[in-house]
């Protein structure tokens, strides 16, 4: 199996590339990284492990949240939502 540290490094390296291709706002990239970490960990478990997908999801979420920082993600999400609300109300 591939170590979770390598999976996290791969996900964080791929996040800017995928985010640009999918036009994901910079403030929401932490969520992209988290999803990538979980998906890569699931693929790792299926390909090289014992096929314990539920455990792979748990580990991916747990380690992914630690890697991206729960505080930073919450703060960025709230800023993004507040800015979108402000922009939408100004357009009306």
User: Which pLDDT belongs to residue 85?
Assistant: 86
Domain count, the chain: 1
31-70 per-position pLDDT tens digit: 999 999 999 999 999 999 898 999 999 999 999 999 888 7
Cα–Cα distances (Å) from 48 to 5, 37, 52, 64, 67, in that order, read 16, 16, 11, 20, 23
Q: Left, alpha or beta for 6 (phi > 0: left; psi -120 to 50: alpha)? A: alpha
Q: Domain of 86?
A: 4-91
User: Which pLDDT belongs to residue 38?
Assistant: 97
């Amino acid at each position: 199996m591939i170590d979770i540290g390598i999976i996290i490094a791969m996900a964080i390296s791929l996040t800017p590339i995928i985010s640009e291709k999918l036009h994901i706002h910079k403030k929401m990239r932490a969520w992209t990284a988290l999803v990538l970490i979980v998906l890569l960990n699931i693929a790792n478990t299926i390909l090289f492990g014992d096929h314990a997908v539920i455990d792979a999801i748990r580990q991916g979420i747990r380690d992914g949240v630690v890697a991206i920082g729960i505080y930073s993600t919450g703060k960025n999400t709230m800023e993004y939502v507040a800015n979108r609300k402000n922009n939408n109300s100004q357009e009306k």
